[in-house]
Structure 1
Amino acid sequence: MKYSTLLFDVDDTLLNFQSSEKHALEKLFQTLHKPLTPEVYRDYHSLNAQLWRRYERGEISRETLLDERFNLFFQHYGENVDGTLYGQKYRSFLSESHDQIPNATKLLADLTHDHHLYIVTNGVASTQHRRLKESGLDKYFDNVFISEKIGHKKPEPAFFDYIANNISGFNKQDSLVVGDSLTSDILGAAKYGLDSVWFNPQHQPNASSTQPTYEIDQLLDLEAIVS
């Protein structure tokens, strides 16, 4: 067995964040009595992705991302809103949705007997804990590491250093990061000297300078890599 410690991202790796995001926006717009058109959804999705990348690069704080994104979003449409309140409502709706990526449960059930499984996520702690619990995936993991609680985020080496110090017998050579994000999961693994698996079901091109150790487009393909 080449890898005994597996570090899994959550969003768009095990749980379908695109589905959760759309659900949360639909619920938020319903409470605001506003229509959520495909164009408005795409605008929000694009802005949110840009803000998360800025957060990963250390350009903005977590608080700025969570409290200001709806201010920025509605300013685009000429509206001034209570971005903090909207953000709280949105995160509450987000936590309600936990659709799994195909074969997530089967993969974890197959791996849990011979591997140590951990969550490593930049998501909001309360949201991620609820989604993992209600999806039924939480039972497969030895621990859940969340940037909000650690005080460091992917791709910072300090995030992975905390994880290494809190897993008994942690060994870089036996550990593998699995995630969908080149800018947080794969780059973070590379910075810390860990092998990585880029989960890329849509076959997106890699335009970055970061190269994963492996690339898969179906979760069950991971089994051949780790066993």
Structure 2
Amino acid sequence: MSYQYVILDLDDTLLDFKKGEAEGLSRVLKNHGVADDELSHVVSIYHQVNRTVWTEIEQGSDRKMLLNQRFTRLFKQLGRPVDDLLGLQIESDYRAYLNNNFAVIEGSKQLLERLSAKNLTLIAGTNGSQETQENRLKHTQLGQYFDSVFISEAVGYAKPSEKFYQPIFKHYPKMDHKNAIMIGDSLNSDIAGAHNSAIDSIWFNPSGMKNTSLVKPKFVAKTYYDILSILV
């Protein structure tokens, strides 16, 4: 099948979000009273809270409000309740670390170079903060490979909502459901979003995770080489 428009997720598809997340969480939690010997436990609870928050966002709830509340929720679960103002400050501190996470997944630049060389139209389609994502694309120099960038905060809707994809189709009148494909690491946002918009998808799954969900990608890629073999 011939694809012309390739929509790529950023976090954990091209950018190494997990590395920056781990470093940022460690620093911000220690700065707010979490001891070294309890850090692993607290981070585990944070991930549970964060998954719940992003599920609510992906279902259409207010993104900014929920992100501003996630550390308030975390510390409440720890039995150390903080007020909304302090929770907001912790979120702000954490966001500052994320804004300066410029780690990329090895081989991502080469992937984009190869796809660009084939004259494919590359589009970044990502959930997240506009400031954070634009800053990271700039400093990693990956932004140069994209024809355009669509970020959920600016769009007003998050993947997997089909409304996230509507501005992309509007921006590219020649894009249709046969010549576009979505690449991402998340079944629940990237692959489900592609399904909701009736376009094909590649699930980037370097860890070989089993898919036990009802969301079925068109293709599965364990490596960037797999992605290239599908597209070029």
- Is TM-score (shorter-chain normalized) higher than 0.5? yes
Identity %: 34
In structure 2, the gaps of 5 or more residues are: none
* Equivalent position of 1:52 in the other structure: 54
* Equivalent position of 2:167 in the other structure: 162
* Equivalent position of 2:224 in the other structure: 219
* Equivalent position of 1:100 in the other structure: 104
* Equivalent position of 1:150 in the other structure: 155
The residue type equivalent to 1:4 in the other structure is: Q
* Equivalent position of 1:120 in the other structure: 125
Is the 2:53–2:67 contact (alpha carbons within 8 Å) kept by the matching residues of 1?
no
Deviation of 1:168 (Å): 4.4
The residue type equivalent to 2:219 in the other structure is: Y
Q: Which aligned runs of 4 or more in structure 1 are off by greater than 2 angstroms? A: 29-36
CA distance in 1, matches of 2:182, 2:10: 12
Task: Provide, for residues 118-162 of structure 1, a one-character-per-residue CA deviation record: whole Å limited to 9, x for no partner.
Answer: 110111110111111111111110111011111111111111111
In structure 1, the gaps of 5 or more residues are: none
Taking only aligned residues, the RMSD between alpha carbons, in angstroms, comes to: 1.5
Is the 1:118–1:143 contact (alpha carbons within 8 Å) kept by the matching residues of 2?
yes
Secondary structure in 2 matching 1:171: coil
CA distance in 1, matches of 2:225, 2:107: 7
Secondary structure in 2 matching 1:197: strand
Deviation of 1:63 (Å): 2.0
My pick for the range that moved more, 174-183 or 42-51, is 42-51
My pick for the range that moved more, 123-132 or 23-32, is 23-32
My pick for the range that moved more, 81-90 or 115-124, is 81-90
* Equivalent position of 1:8 in the other structure: 8
TM-score, normalisation: structure 1 = 0.94
Secondary structure in 2 matching 1:53: helix
Deviation of 1:33 (Å): 4.9
Secondary structure in 2 matching 1:172: coil
The residue type equivalent to 1:48 in the other structure is: N
TM-score, normalisation: structure 2 = 0.92
CA distance in 2, matches of 1:27, 1:139: 31
